[in-house]
Structure 1
Amino acid sequence: MIKIKYADNYFKRLIGLMFKKDIDYGLLFILKYGSSVHTSFMRFVIDVYFLDENKVIVDKKTLKPWRYYKTDKKARYILETKENELNSEIGEKLDFL
């Protein structure tokens, strides 16, 4: 179980995890359109989980700093965590409020 912070406004979505030295939480994005992420200006490796409307993981990608990834799966949420923090796999359902 990890603490979740929501990227629930424009500024939080824009900045995301950029410039952070370390985190002890996951950052959740609720998507309105698009399913891509970048790790520009990031200082550590992250795991990115793409979840559908039922909160089931449909794609997962580990990204080093300065990378870009766009999933071909339909996602409603994106959860970013430190690498190996969550250890969940495609097909698992996550529970968050």
Structure 2
Amino acid sequence: MSLFYKYLHNKTHQESPKHQKYCVKSADGVVIVKLVNKNTGDVIATNVQTAYSFWRRFRGLMLKENMPEGSALHIAPCPSIHTFFMKFSIDILYLNKENEIVGVEKELAPGKIGKRFAGGYSVIEFPTGGICDLAVHIGDTLDFVDEGWEYGS
């Protein structure tokens, strides 16, 4: 069972000791994990912040100056996105409920509306060029892993 699945199916998201057991929280309460391609074992991003509450999803990357290389933002539930009030372009992976990639969108400029993909349930936003060098393909399954865990353990 992936970290993402455990988190979303915990009805008391923020307060549960079970939630805290599986996640690393930053000072502002954001869960930080790494992203791994389950098909290859490759680490996709090492600094993935999560946006699972209404306000974190609403704010997303709006009004931020940039996004550091190697970072990403996972927004769930979120079948589609926009880049209104953003100051930079992004790359996006669209995932279904099983964390399988159902769509990829590159270089979505500020002020645009992203595509919708059948089965889309959540998105992972990367800095522009963040997924160009990655070996990810539609159909690959991703996993969100607490930075303290070793993948596969």
Q: TM-score range by the shorter chain?
A: 0.7 to 0.9
Q: How does 1:15-34 map to 2 (within 5 A)?
A: 15-24=59-68, 25-31=71-77
Q: For residues 74 and 118 of structure 2, what CA distance do their matches in structure 1 show?
A: 17
Query: Is the 8 Å Cα contact of residues 105 and 115 (structure 2) preserved in structure 1?
Result: no
After TM superposition, list the pairs within 5 Å mapping 1:1-97 onto structure 2. 1-2=44-45, 3-24=47-68, 25-31=71-77, 35-62=79-106, 63-86=108-131, 87=134, 88-97=136-145
Q: Does the residue aligned with 2:142 lie in a helix, a strand or coil?
A: coil
User: Which consecutive residues of structure 1, in runs of 5 or more, have no partner in the other structure?
Assistant: none
Percent of residue pairs identical: 28
Point out 4+ residue stretches in structure 1 off by more than 4 angstroms. Answer: none
Q: CA RMSD of the aligned region, Å?
A: 1.6
Structure whose alpha-carbon radius of gyration is higher:
2
Residues 35 and 71 of structure 1 are in contact (CA less than 8 Å); yes or no, is this contact kept in structure 2? Answer: yes
Q: Give the paired residue count.
A: 95
Taking structure 1 as the reference length, the TM-score comes to 0.85
> Match of 2:143, as an amino acid?
D
Scaled by the length of structure 2, the TM-score of the pair is 0.57
